[in-house]
A and B are shown apart, each in its own frame.
Chain A
């Protein structure tokens, strides 16, 4: 049985394979679909919805939706872009994102998406919620002000580190990342060498004592927008 077929993204026909997600197929064809919770080493969970595309008229999360023969997908249309921008804006106003002193600035995927979308200010009122900072671990800082609840850390700890350091707790606006320990991160078996330490897309989980190591101008997203690496595959 032939398990490769064609799908169409924004009018362009591309090759897809049975078992791929829309995001996998698009990546292989050099088409970037913005994303936050998805990470190449983790099982996708489709939670942030930044990767929303319209498939045969219906919104779907590209990181989890499997490809099917003949699918017609909209990725780069004004409506889809606006929807993604709304989500990014919400993430900014629902947290406390002080980029000017954040150690992740320049390497932050949320910030990089905002740059790619040309966002100069969010459309929604800022919430300035009260959040905790957990500095109890000797080598790792957990700053909930910046968390976007992508659950990458939860999955990385389980899937890649064989531990279970993080869990999402609470509901709705009060949902947050909790740690499986007496009280704080320092009470868990988290190690600075864990994959969960470096997998956070924002500055919520950061290594201590390495901040601002890379000079401005040489950080990942200083010169080229996020996604350029994928788009370079097939210019």
Chain B
């Protein structure tokens, strides 16, 4: 029987959650006995190649591209897990949510104290994904089946959750493994 496939992605996150995933250390050998990675920054596959059992989402959505990727994951994964505070509640990027977008852009590209931009140009190349008005947690964009908060969730949390999911057991995190920081 072929192994279940797991896809992972980092949207509006800092890759900290993926670093935490790597922090499972030598358990990664057990993990690759259990699963095959599909699209993921770990193997650099750019698009989901076939149906996946589990999709891990780091980060919320701050731009169009994040939304497209998240939709690709929802379409191709049986179970979607939002992991980390950015995916579950917007996280640090969502700190811009109570500041109007124009003010954010002006601060970043025009008025910031370290900015040198005499023509006041704001990047608008079509290659650059358009920013959304706000940063949205993953579940406000597509349906999410499980949430693993934490900044980042600890390697033990990720390990416990993944092994439970892959063996069809209920995802009941012990008290010490559910943290928001």
Contacts and interface: CB of A to CB of B under 8 A. Distances in A.
Contacts of B149: 120-121
B134 interface: yes
A109 to B, nearest CB: 13
Contact of B140 (A101, A125, A131): A125
Contacts of B85: 98-100
A223 interface: yes
A128 B92 contact: no
Interface string B150-181: 01000000000000000000000101101111
A106 B176 CA distance: 11
Interface residues of B, number: 28
A100 B139 CA distance: 19
Interface stretch (B3-11, B47-55, B93-101, B109-117): B93-101
B148 A120 contact: yes
A114 interface: yes
B139 A121 contact: yes
A121 B88 contact: yes
Most buried by A among B95, B140, B148: B95
Contacts of A92: 89
Nearest to A129: B98
A128 B90 contact: yes
A15 to B, nearest CB: 30
A38 interface: no
Contacts of A122: 89
B77 interface: no
Nearest to B152: A100
B102 to A, nearest CB: 15
Contacts of A100: 85, 91-92, 151, 180-181
Interface in A110-168: 111, 114-115, 118, 120-122, 125-126, 128-131
A197 interface: no
Interface string A75-113: 000000000000000001000111111100110000100
A189 interface: no
B94 A115 contact: no
Contacts of A59: none
Nearest to A228: B175
User: Does more than half of chain A's interface fall in helix, strand or loop, or is it mixed?
Assistant: loop
Given A120-B146, A128-B98, A111 B134 contact: no
A199 B181 CA distance: 22
A121 B91 contact: no
Nearest to B96: A128
B180 A99 contact: yes
A130 B98 contact: yes
Contacts of A99: 85, 151, 180-181
Contacts of B176: 222-223
Interface of B: 82, 85, 88-92, 94-95, 97-98, 134, 137, 139-140, 144, 146-149, 151, 173, 175-176, 178-181
29 contacts: A96-B95, A98-B85, A98-B92, A98-B95, A99-B180, A99-B181, A100-B85, A100-B91, A105-B180, A105-B181, A115-B178, A115-B179, A115-B180, A120-B146, A120-B147, A120-B149, A121-B89, A121-B144, A121-B147, A126-B90, A126-B94, A126-B97, A126-B140, A128-B90, A128-B97, A129-B98, A130-B98, A131-B98, A223-B175
The 7 A-B pairs of least Cβ separation, nearest first, read A100-B151, A99-B180, A120-B147, A128-B97, A121-B147, A130-B98, A105-B181
